[in-house]
Homo-oligomer: A and B are copies of this chain.
Amino acid sequence: MPKSPALRAPPANRLLAALPPKEYQRLLPELETVPMTFAQVIHSPGDTIRYVYFPNDSIVSLLAAEDHHASLEVGMIGNEGMTGISVFMGVNTSQTLALVQGPGTALRMTAGTLRKESNSLSHFHRLLHRYSHSLLTQMSLSSACNRFHTLDGRLARWLLMSHDRIGTDDFRLTQEFMSNMLGVRREGVNKVAGDLQRNKLISYSRGHIAILDRLGLERISCTCYGVIRAESDKSLSKNGYAA
């Protein structure tokens, strides 16, 4: 664990400072210093991102916001990083809420300028960018999901995501394994899996599980499932994220 003290009065964004002088000079005309005020919203879920910010002494928190006042920080961005990495990934929207947690200043650049950086890349490269974005989205959403949602909804979501990917209605799976995935005890999985089986949504026995009623699972699954899947599907289509 690093015991070094926090930097005193960090003068500038370290990400930009890590660039060779030539590249920094190239970007400089595109950068504008702006104040960051406490609780300022940088972008909301679904918004088109107009600017990306490179904090100096300010801090931006990425939040996964739930419906009812419940929120969870999924990322903290200070002078070591930037907001709007999605834009770099070729996607002008984000599922997270970015707001200023610590006031100060930042350098900002228009989203369009940043996107130009990715011109002349191969299709493969751009595809992987979009996939990275969908993975980031999956991580941030499921992070909040694990925090706020009850086990039955989470198990349903997990089964649906597996079902989407495995391509068959029955597959090998123990309660023990699921408990490791969901970060809970086997006994907890036993209880809710039993409920699902009693309601004829799934059936299982000794390490073998079958999806009986997909729509029923979708009904009790949290809404995270739909969002994650939509984001994933979009990342595969070249124009899914057309700006």
A contact set with B: CB distance below 8 Å: 1-3, 5-10, 14-15, 18-20, 23, 26-27, 38, 55, 57, 59, 61, 63, 70-82, 85, 88-89, 101-104, 117-118, 122-125, 127-128, 131-132, 134-136, 138-140, 142-144, 146-148, 158, 161-168, 171-172, 177, 180-183, 214-215, 218, 223, 225-226, 229-230, 232-233, 235-238
Contact = CB atoms under 8 A, between A and B. Distances in A.
B236 A15 contact: yes
A6 B79 CA distance: 43
A89 B132 contact: yes
A-B pairs with lowest CB-CB distance, top 3: A78-B165, A1-B226, A72-B183
15 contacts: A6-B166, A8-B168, A18-B127, A19-B127, A61-B181, A72-B181, A75-B138, A76-B158, A76-B165, A82-B131, A102-B162, A102-B171, A136-B136, A139-B143, A143-B143
Contacts of A7: 164, 167
Nearest to A232: B80
Nearest to A64: B183
Nearest to A163: B6
A229 to B, nearest CB: 6
A148 B183 contact: yes
A123 B63 contact: no
Contact of A85 (B2, B132, B165): B132
Given A18-B127, A38-B172, A81-B135, A165 B55 contact: yes
B104 A135 contact: no
Contacts of A134: 80-81
A164 B6 contact: yes
A59 B166 CA distance: 7
Given A218-B3, A225-B1, A166 B80 contact: no
B101 A181 contact: yes
Contacts of A8: 167-168
A165 B1 contact: no
